[in-house]
Amino acid sequence: MSASVLDMSMSVDGYIADPNDFLGGDDGERLHKWAGPQDESGPPSGPAAHFQDEWNTAGAVLAGRRTAELMDHWGGDHGGLPIFVPSHRPPGPAARWGYPLVTYVTDGIESAMAQAKAAAGDKDVQVRGAYTAQRALEAGVLDEVQIHQIPVLLGDGRRLFDVLPSQIELEIIRMIDTPEATHIRYRVLR
């Protein structure tokens, strides 16, 4: 059975991007440096390789409209995966005509998640975007939360969990600690 998994890198003070939608640091990528190769000679290793494998074995992506548009819908697919975007407005031209694996869902987060899970089959649905994660939690359709907590304080920007409907209990199901990040995976308790 597939699970819907929010997977986000976050600063210790709760930010997923700075005020200009960059990911922190001088090069704008501080929050994602942990996921790159630890030496410049090859692919990621250690925990980064483990998470890369998780992302590569997902069956679909559910992404907020803002996130999808900032990423140009990952060029029309997310590593070959279908992308579902909950939105109250129709998609722009690129998503409408140029990206056949991108589906805009206008009848709510529950429908978007159901379609993503159907497309994923028995694989996980990777969830992207703060607002979408908050709405999925509110609707009870987010199963797990995986946070890659980066040892940096951004001090300002976009928070991951700005507005939640109420207290939400989580259960830690895995924790991996490295010098670059602490990776914590939670199950959402219902």
pLDDT digits (tens, 9 = 90+) for 55-84: 677 899 999 999 888 888 888 777 889 999
| pLDDT for the residue numbered 105 | 96
- Per-residue pLDDT tens digits for 131-149: 999 999 999 999 999 999 9
How much is the pLDDT for 53?
66
Q: 52: which 2 tokens?
A: 């890369």
Q: Which of 39, 14, 67 is nearest to 180 (CA)?
A: 39
Contacts of 25 by beta carbon, 8 Å cutoff, 6+ apart: 31, 33, 152
Other beta carbons less than 10 A from residue 39's beta carbon: 7
Mean of the pLDDT values across residues 111-138?
Answer: 96
What was the pLDDT predicted at 28? 77
